[in-house]
Amino acid sequence: MSIDAKTVKVLREKTGAGMMDCKRALVETDGNLEKAVEALRKAGVAKAVKKGSRSAQEGLIYSYIHHGGRLGVLLEVNCETDFVAKTEGFKELIHNLSIQIAATSPASVSRDTVSKDLIEKEKNIYIEQVKSSKKPDNVIEKIVEGKMDKYFQEICLLEQPFIKDPDKIVKDLITESIATLGENITVGRYTRFAIGESHNEN
């Protein structure tokens, strides 16, 4: 079928995908814009997973100050090239991540960076809580595992529901940006400052 150049342009602006990829997606979906966006995202996420292993040595340090100057975040996000670091898409991602950190004060970027002592402490608390239920050991283990998963979702930035769209987690947001911008992106360090609180540094 014949695809209108205007529709291809709209799809490009929505997804950041290449002209040929947009045209192909529209042909495959009979010109349905929403389905084409979905098809490109699925393809992009597959590519993004491969890009996730590449080295990210460039990037930006971004400062976000919340209204009134009582809350602020200093955040480092890395990508592969200086070119991508200067794009609006990359800056928008960092801004969204900063707002997330300001709102939720995550203790860590991911599970891998949570201290073993903290994990052990939380696990022991949950074990003690569940032991009194007199359930079998294998059931207790599953309950504790579920509680730990929930705990990580609360304290780890990458596992938190994204505050602007709780249907996706922060890691999904980064994966979408990797797919759109075509480079690996990783969250480096961040510090959250709030008046009257000890600051949270990661």
Q: For position 185, which CATH number holds?
A: 3.30.479.20
**149 and 161 fall within a common domain:** no
**106 and 161 fall within a common domain:** yes
**163 and 99 fall within a common domain:** yes
**106 and 169 fall within a common domain:** yes
Mean pLDDT on 101-108: 95
Domain of 104?
Answer: 58-110+156-201
Residue 88, pLDDT above cutoff 90: yes
**97 and 63 fall within a common domain:** yes
Which has the higher per-residue pLDDT, 49 or 83? 83
pLDDT number for residue 46: 47
Residue 49, pLDDT above cutoff 80: no
**What's the pLDDT band for 29 if we cut at 50, 70, 90?**
confident
**100 and 162 fall within a common domain:** yes
pLDDT number for residue 44: 66
The DSSP bridge partners found for residue 181 are: none
Identity of residue 157:
L
**183 and 98 fall within a common domain:** yes
Pseudo-torsion of CA 140, 133, 153, 161, nearest 10°?
Answer: 120
Mean pLDDT of the chain: 86
Domain count, the chain: 3
Task: Spell out the long-range contacts of 44-51 with Cβ–Cβ below 8 A and sequence spacing 24 or more.
Answer: 44/15, 44/17, 44/176, 44/179, 44/180, 45/175, 45/176, 45/179, 47/179, 48/175, 48/176, 48/178, 48/179, 49/175, 51/178, 51/182, 51/183, 51/184
**70 and 165 fall within a common domain:** yes
Q: What is the pLDDT of residues 135-185, one digit of tens each?
A: 887 888 888 889 999 999 999 999 999 999 998 999 999 989 998 888 899
Give the number of other CB atoms < 10 A from CB of residue 151: 20
**177 and 190 fall within a common domain:** yes
Q: For position 127, which CATH number holds?
A: 1.10.286
**128 and 32 fall within a common domain:** no
pTM flag (> 0.85): no
Q: Is 1 exposed, middle or buried (0-12, 13-18, 19+ CB in 10 A)?
A: exposed
**143 and 45 fall within a common domain:** no
Residue 97, pLDDT above cutoff 90: yes
**22 and 120 fall within a common domain:** no
> What is the distance of C-alpha 145 from the center of its chain?
23
